[in-house]
Amino acid sequence: MSDYKGSIREVRAISVLSARMWNAQPREAMISIRGSSDPPVPLKKGWVDMLRLQFDDIEKPTPGLKLFSEEDADKVIDFIQKIDGKVDHVVVHCMLGQSRGPGVARAITLMCGLTNGLLQHMTFNRRVCETIFWRWRHRFFPGQGGCYFGGPVRADHPIYSTGPVVNGRPLFSIPAKKEEG
């Protein structure tokens, strides 16, 4: 699916407690995720590079909370491009390591064409993963992958309800919307 030939070989999602104790290895980068009202997470030094993001663990707009945005997705994509060739491993942390972090990790795994991380990231925030993945697809493969334009992917775009199809199979399992009545 990807023509990626970069240096990233593994992406891992962990909790904030694990991240605080993590000793960065050579050629390792960190993506640190915190909620909109959380203070910055103190992390040990030694990372090749670090990206800090701030958004809440939600999949649709909620008053008082920050939804993962296309700008956030672009920051992740730009960060991966920036560290490519400099790192072998990317570590992503969020509060519990079960939703936002795995959403980012799964998207990076898909972008890099890695198969070794998909089973590690079984629970993930769909909005985070899909927004990153589709922003990346439209940036590097315009007009492919279920959409026919090279512009930005919006949350109300049909791709969010139909999901991407690769080799005749859905890439994500997106439940059909139930009609009320």
Per residue in 18-69, pLDDT tens?
A: 999 999 999 999 999 999 999 999 999 999 999 999 999 998 899 999 999 9
- Ranges 25-29, 35-39, 71-75, 144-148: which has the least confidence: 144-148
What is the torsional sign of CA 104, 129, 124, 155?
Answer: positive
Q: What pLDDT, on the 0 to 100 scale, is given for residue 153? A: 42
CATH number of 10-170: 3.90.190.10
What is the mean predicted confidence (pLDDT) over 10-15?
93
Domain spans in the chain, listed from the N-terminal domain onward = 10-170
Residues 6+ positions from 50 with CB-CB distance below 8 Å: 29, 30, 31, 32, 43
Please tell me which residue, 4 or 2, carries the higher pLDDT value. 4
Which two tokens mark 160? 């969010």
Question: In the predicted model, what is the mean pLDDT of the chain?
Answer: 81
Exposed/middle/buried for 134, CB within 10 Å: 0-12, 13-18, 19+? Answer: buried
Separation of alpha carbons 27 and 86, rounded Å: 6
Separation of alpha carbons 90 and 47, rounded Å: 10
Contact 69, 75 (CB under 8 A): no
Q: Please, which pLDDT band fits residue 3 given cuts at 50, 70 and 90?
A: low
Closest by CA position to 4, among listed 64, 70, 84, 66: 84
- pTM for this entry: 0.77
Percentage of the residues of the chain whose pLDDT score is greater than 90? 59
